[in-house]
Structure 1
C-alpha cells in the first residue's frame, strides 16, 4: 500500500477549529513538521479539508 508524506506548510492559527483538529489528528504540530500516513480514503478526505495548509508527496514503499 502506498504511503503519503504530509508536511504542514502554513500555520493553523486563525483557522477554523475543524481545520485545527484535523491537523492535530494527523500528528502535525508546527510548521514544517512531517508525518507519513497510509494512502486511504479517510486520510485523503482529511487532506482535502486542509489542502491549502499542507504539501503532500507520495512515498515509495
Structure 2
C-alpha cells in the first residue's frame, strides 16, 4: 500500500486585522501562532484551505 502524502505548513503571517473566515481557516489547519508548523495530509480540502490563507502560510520543503 502506498504511503499517504503529507504537506508541512508553517504560519508566517498574523491573523490580526484579518477576516474571521481567514482566522477560521488557520485554526482548521491547526495553526494559530507565528512560526507554528503542522504536517497535514495532502488532500484537496487541505489544499483549498491553504490557498485561502496563502499570504499567511508557506509550504516547507522537506
Write out per-residue CA displacement over residues 1-45 of structure 1, whole angstroms, 9 at most, x where no aligned residue. Answer: 210001000101100110000001111120000000000100001
* TM-score calculated relative to the size of structure 2: 0.88
Answer 1 or 2: higher relative contact order, Cα 8 Å, separation at least 6. 1
CA radius of gyration, larger in: 2
Counting only pairs closer than 5 Å after superposition, residues 1-61 of structure 1 correspond to structure 2 as 1-57=4-60, 59=62
- Aligned residue pairs: how many? 59
Query: Is there any run of 5+ residues in structure 2 with no aligned partner, and where?
Result: none
Runs of 4 or more consecutive aligned structure 1 residues displaced over 4 Å after TM superposition: none
